[in-house]
Amino acid sequence: GDSVTQMEGPVTLSEEAFLTINCTYTATGYPSLFWYVQYPGEGLQLLLKATKADDKGSNKGFEATYRKETTSFHLEKGSVQVSDSAVYFCALTPLSSGSARQLTFGSGTQLTVLP
Amino acid sequence: DADVTQTPRNRITKTGKRIMLECSQTKGHDRMYWYRQDPGLGLRLIYYSFDVKDINKGEISDGYSVSRQAQAKFSLSLESAIPNQTALYFCATSDFQGTFFGQGTRLTVV
């Protein structure tokens, strides 16, 4: 079945450091790929998405590129802030789900940014 | 007000008790979902519903049931709660623009 493998955390960085959180996936066909963020005590919010190979999703300084050849969707940010501290989830929607849009999630990566 | 509202936000219950978690949405979406979050496991799908008359099991439906009372309401029941059902539960809705999550219900079974 479909699966998402995320870089294990937790990750601790100093403010203004460069962030990479690795994500690889296994799926048939051409899934849509997502990054969600969960701030403490809150639900998940969509951070960015990409729906086809070579698409780059971006939002709030975060970027991720859909790499079909390496089945990856790594999250990057050039300069993190304390307010970026959260749990980040990589996820996919398989093409076969049609309109149902069930999400398959990675295990999540806890990011802590220190001032 | 939140687009997807879950009640209660926190609940402690005893083993063997029946408990219901409720979800309502104001987004007008047909599709609704219940997920469970466990540390180190991400979110896993329990049940999903395409519309009021269409209910489907997800990856981990054993020990759970659901009811879609209306387009806007989707409740999750634990028929006889057990300690390994202690988790954070999320309701979600979706359309072509994406999936939208509630704030979660933290359930503890003692």
Instruction: List pLDDT tens digits, range A17-74.
Output: 999 999 999 998 889 999 999 998 888 999 999 988 999 999 999 999 999 999 999 9
Task: Write the CB contacts of B20 (distance below 8 Å, at least 6 apart in sequence).
Answer: B75, B76, B77, B78
Contact yes or no for A100 and B90 at CB 8 A: no
Give yes or no for A106 touching B (CB within 8 A): yes
Q: What integer pLDDT is reported at residue B1 of this predicted model?
A: 57
Which residues of chain B are within 8 Å of residue A42 when distances are taken between CB atoms?
103-104
Q: Give the pLDDT score at A18.
A: 97
Which of B40, B58, B90 has the CB atom closest to A107's CB atom?
A: B40
- Does any CB of chain A come closer than 8 Å to the CB of residue B90? yes
Grouping H, G, I as helix, E, B as strand and the rest as coil, residue A83 is helix
3-state SS, residue A82: helix
Please report which confidence band the pLDDT of residue A9 belongs to, taking 50, 70 and 90 as the band edges.
confident
Residues contacting residue A3 through CB under 8 Å, at least 6 positions apart = A25, A26, A27, A104
pLDDT recorded at residue A40:
87
Q: Amino acid identity, residue A112?
A: T
Query: In chain A, whose CA is at the least distance from the CA of B35?
Result: A103
What share of chain A in percent tops pLDDT 90? Answer: 74
pLDDT of residue B68: 96
pLDDT given at position A94:
77
Of B42, B94, B103, the CB nearest to A42: B103
Chain A interface mutation, best of B43, B57, B59, B100, highest count of A Cβ atoms under 10 Å: B43
B50 CB near a chain A CB, below 8 Å?
yes
Phi (first) and psi of residue A93, to 5 degrees: -115, 120
If one compares A7 and A99, the residue with the highest pLDDT of the two is A7
The answer to whether B44 contacts chain A (CB < 8 Å) is yes
What digits encode the pLDDT tens for the residues B41-91? 889 999 999 999 999 999 999 999 999 999 999 999 999 999 999 999 999
Smallest Cα–Cα separation from B57: which of B39, B76, B41? Answer: B76
For A98-113, what is each residue's pLDDT tens digit? 545 688 999 999 999 9
Q: Which residues does chain A have within 8 Å of residue B44's beta carbon, measured at their own beta carbons? A: 105
In the prediction, which pLDDT does A95 show? 64
